[in-house]
Amino acid sequence: MRIIATLMAMFAASPALAASGPFFSLQNTNFVVGIAFILFIGVLIYFKVPGMLTGLLDKRATDIQAELNEARKLREEAQSVLASYERKQKEVTEHAGRIVEQAKQEAQLAADQAKEDLKDSIARRLLAAEDQIKSAENAALREVRNKAISVAIGAASDVIAKNMTATDGNQLIDESIAQVEAKLH
């Protein structure tokens, strides 16, 4: 039907006065071109070219539809993957926030523990220093006493040496020997 409508439109649109001679003559170029065109259309129909063209167009339409469906499917998958990654990113961000908060708390606890340990260490060192000071004071007092005793002994021996005569010394030696014999026997 379309072919007939096309042929009619072609013959109606052609200028009838452009060619010389009667229209249905081989001398008329419009008639020859019209017959060639009709033969060309007939050959196309005989070899089923319109069916092949329709089949190719239908195949192309089917391919395009399949590509569109694939593109929709890929888009949906991409959206689901994007949503999944956004969800994971949010979870990771929240987890990182919790880790940072926990690290801050642990750092604060460690700092508090370090302060306590430092206070304990300072207290122990103060006690050790006080003990060392007391020990040094006691040692100094003993040294002063020993020195005083040494000085007193030295002064006493000087006094005794000046005041004692040889007879007094012999008498003291004899008395000491007698005391030793009495104690030993």
Would you list the domain boundaries of the chain? 1-47
Residue 169's pLDDT is 75
The alpha carbon dihedral of 73, 75, 81, 87 has a sign of: negative
Confidence band of 178 (pLDDT split at 50, 70, 90)? confident
pLDDT computed for residue 122 by the predictor = 93
pLDDT per residue over 78-137, tens digit each? 999 999 999 999 999 999 999 999 999 999 999 999 999 999 999 999 999 999 999 999
Through-space distance between the first and last CA atoms of the chain, rounded to whole angstroms: 168
Give pTM, 2 decimals: 0.38
Alpha-carbon distance of 33 to 29, in angstroms, equals 6
